[in-house]
Chain A
Amino acid sequence: MTRRRILAVAVLVVPAWLMMPLENSIHSENLQLRYGGAKVTSELRDQIGQGMAIALLAGFRGVVADFLWIQSHDYWAKKEWMRQYSYMKMVTMLQPQSTMFWDIGAWHMAWNIGYAVSVDPQNRTQAEGIKREREWWDRARDYLQQGIENVPNRPDLYFAMGWLYWEKYKDGSKAQEYFHKAVAAKEQPQNLSVRMDGVQRLEARAMEKSGDVKGAYQCWKQMWLQDHQKTEQIWTVVEREVKRLEDELRIPENQRVFPNPRSEPASPP
């Protein structure tokens, strides 16, 4: 081999070795960031077929997950609920960090499939329909629980769980617990701020519904005391609720936020 060829090989190998620390650093950051450590098991690979498996290898996880999700939607249209369910589970196995899949999946289960099976003409009795509907609520709840374990820092799934308890199970105290977790979640993306304002209001309402009127009042009061410049909360609603609960709980005048119905309220910060 000529000298130049040896040089060529050397320049390909030696600097690559010198860059190993950088490569390791990138790799470990990746493991933390991506896929939540979700490995593609061989069962999953068998289920999704070869074409998709190759796409996975090329790094197109999102695209594969989307394809499977679209297919699951097909099964929804065909009313093949269990098929849809199994596909949705595959999708979240591929992209467990997508709050969207957990969220919408649970919605499909509890709201769409749940309703469909409750009015299914094949039900022998109405009770059977209700029982089947509840099964799907439970599936949705377990699904969301898994989602929360995978994405514990974002508010989306806590809110979804709270909403499930609020609308379906009609369990005010559980709903409130999850709404609170949503508001208290570590990551609060800017684009969700308006929605989170709404979740705060829901939390207070859920508290009141579950019987904790004092807690609800504290909730509304805390909301009112936030910096009015920093959030886009609907202050008219907050004010109305605070005033109503102060009357209902007969809070002493000197402790009220709105001491006298005819006078100015304590000026907000």
Chain B
Amino acid sequence: MNAEQENMTESTQPSGAPAAREGEWVGFSLSRVWAIAETTFTEAVRQKVYNILIVFALIVIASASFFSQFGTEEQLKFMKDFCLGAVSVFGTMIAIIGTALLLPSEVENRTIYTILSKPVRRFEFLLGKYMGSVLLIFVSLLLMSIMFGAALAFKEQRMVSALHQQSSGVPLTEEQKQEVHATVRQIRAEAFDPDLVKAALLILVKLALLAAITLLVSTFSTSMIFNVIVAVMVLIAGHLVGSAREMWGDSAVVRWLLAIVPDLGSFNVADDIVLGNPISWVHVAKVVVYGLGYLACVVAAAHFIFSDREI
């Protein structure tokens, strides 16, 4: 090494480190959680998770361009249905696959040793990893929503200007002008439906819940494939809860068993939003609370299992 060694020998006292007494307490630190969340997020991004969004962008563009032989109302419905569906599908992939690897890769690469050997609580580590995943999901949804919104705006513009072009060549009566005006109004309302936000919000909560479930599974299994498969099974089960209730809901035993599985179908308001069915903010709030409640329980369960785990 180098000649600075001489300088270093001056300090015989340990410097800077907090002096500890027996009763010293290391409290829960949000900044530690955030440090871990940030690195988790950065790792996923630098591993080019976002390349998947290129495929999403292609779907958005395709849905906006391929159906010109249909009417404006139909085209907008197709766009909204397909894009929201794609948001859900790609979001689910990012949520499950992105989370399935978090803990196993830390354990396999033994990066977890250097982290847990610091004054870090296990819960801070778990929460930090989870928050990193949620951040990844949130940013993905944001990007997808922006692409989707931009496409809708672009489409709306094209349709309105096409409409004006059609009617520009001929002189119009008052009534015909009103008809054009009415159609433009309708296109605008369908393209810029503010309720689309509700659909996106519920998708976010559902994905956060799926990520939490994947995290829970990964606390006791180090195989990424296993984690993904179990998470997908829970996803399927969650969607079947609705129909299972209808078919076998008479038996109390069945109802109590079904209650354990979160009803994932209730997060899917995309169809209704696209149809223009009124979904009140009260209802949305209920579903959000439901989702967050489940989420908290799943994270708590993950904490109980992980805190005991031998590394």
Direct contact of A and B (CB under 8 A): yes
Which residues of A approach B to under 8 Å, CB–CB? 2, 4-5, 7-9, 11-13, 15-17, 19-20, 22-23, 25-27, 29-30, 33-35, 39, 57-63, 66, 69-70, 73, 95, 97-98, 100, 104, 189-195, 197-198, 201, 232, 234, 236-237
Given B81, B294, B304, which contacts A63 in the complex, CB threshold below 8 Å? B81
B188 on the A face (CB < 8 A): yes
Q: Tell me whether chain A's interface is mostly helix, strand or loop, or mixed.
A: helix
> Is A5 a contact partner of B304 (Cβ separation < 8 A)?
yes
B248 on the A face (CB < 8 A): no
A contact residues around B73 at 8 Å (CB): 100, 104
Interface core residue of B265, B302, B307 (most chain A CB under 10 Å): B265
Q: How far is the CB of B172 from chain A (nearest CB, A)?
A: 12
Near A by CB (< 8 A), chain B positions 230-263 give 236, 239-240, 242, 245-246, 255-256, 259-260, 262-263
Residues of B in contact with A, size category = 35 or more
B contact residues around A19 at 8 Å (CB): 259, 290, 293-294
Bitwise, B140-158 to A at CB < 8 A (1) or not (0) is: 0000000000000000000
> Is A236 a contact partner of B174 (Cβ separation < 8 A)?
yes
Given A4, A5, A26, which contacts B287 in the complex, CB threshold below 8 Å? A26
B contact residues around A69 at 8 Å (CB): 74
Which residues of B approach A to under 8 Å, CB–CB? 67, 69-71, 73-74, 77-78, 81-82, 84-85, 88, 174-175, 178-179, 181-182, 185-186, 188-190, 236, 239-240, 242, 245-246, 255-256, 259-260, 262-266, 268, 270-272, 274-279, 283, 286-287, 289-290, 293-294, 296-298, 300-302, 304-305, 307-308
B contact residues around A193 at 8 Å (CB): 185
> Is B178 a contact partner of A194 (Cβ separation < 8 A)?
yes
> Is A237 a contact partner of B298 (Cβ separation < 8 A)?
no
Q: How far is the CB of B221 from chain A (nearest CB, A)?
A: 14
Q: How far is the CB of B294 from chain A (nearest CB, A)?
A: 7
A contact residues around B279 at 8 Å (CB): 33
10 A-B residue pairs with Cβ-Cβ distance under 8 Å, sorted by A, are A4-B305, A8-B304, A9-B301, A15-B293, A15-B296, A16-B262, A33-B279, A59-B239, A60-B85, A195-B186
B contact residues around A35 at 8 Å (CB): 271
A contact residues around B242 at 8 Å (CB): 27, 30
A contact residues around B270 at 8 Å (CB): 59, 62
Q: How far is the CB of B178 from chain A (nearest CB, A)?
A: 6
Given contacts A15-B297, A20-B259, contact A4 B307 (CB under 8 A): yes
